Amino acid sequence: MIYVVFAIFLAACFAAGSTGGLFPPGEWYQKLRKPWWTPPNWLFPVAWTILYLCMAAAGARVAMSPGNGLAMALWALQIALNGLWTPVFFGLRRMKLGLRVLGLLWLSVAATLVALWQVDMIAGVLFVPYLVWVSVAAALNLSVLRLNRTVEH
């Protein structure tokens, strides 16, 4: 059963992540001024694939454990917010709103990490790289917003 549950959580991750393919960065993003520490483009899908595997594993471990209610609700919240950023940033090109979405995503990921940890320590640890990556993404979104004030809608 844990493998079926893992596969379902992974499908949820890829549903959210499919926005990356549907709303690709494109020419608009390439032309934006970016900070020197911007990760290379190829790293984003690689990082997300690893993060999705960790997120699904954390979800599956806790789904199989008692007392998982809070963690499961938060897992659902963070994946709903996760799928929102790409359409807002690359679809609507709304950088400020994208930063707000990332702020909410960061809070929900941090809360999920804590709630998972309380049920299963390994599940909590599996969410650490995700929180780090969302922190980097938020710093990048903020930096791009500041470097391209005139482009903002």
Nearer to its own copies, 78 or 144 (CB): 78
**Residue 86 has which token pair?**
């790409």
Nearer to its own copies, 40 or 66 (CB): 66
| Contacts to its own copies by CB under 8 A | 1-2, 4-5, 8-9, 11-13, 15-16, 18-19, 22-23, 59-60, 63-64, 66, 68-70, 72-77, 79-84, 87-88, 91-92, 104
Instruction: State the nearest-atom distance from the C-beta of 59 to its own copies, in Å.
Output: 7
Cβ burial, residue 13 (10 Å; 0-12/13-18/19+)? buried
Nearer to its own copies, 88 or 144 (CB): 88
Torsion of CA 111, 18, 84, 68, to 10 degrees: -30
| One-character DSSP codes across 92-148 | S--HHHHHHHHHHHHHHHHHHHHHHHHH-HHHHHHTHHHHHHHHHHHHHHHHHHHHT
- How far apart are the C-alpha atoms of 119 and 151, rounded to whole Å? 45
How far from each other are the two terminal CA atoms of the chain, in whole angstroms?
48
Instruction: State the nearest-atom distance from the C-beta of 143 to its own copies, in Å.
Output: 23
Instruction: State the nearest-atom distance from the C-beta of 44 to its own copies, in Å.
Output: 19
Nearer to its own copies, 35 or 91 (CB): 91
Instruction: State the nearest-atom distance from the C-beta of 68 to its own copies, in Å.
Output: 7
Instruction: State the nearest-atom distance from the C-beta of 33 to its own copies, in Å.
Output: 25
| Total number of residues shown for the chain | 153
Nearer to its own copies, 88 or 126 (CB): 88
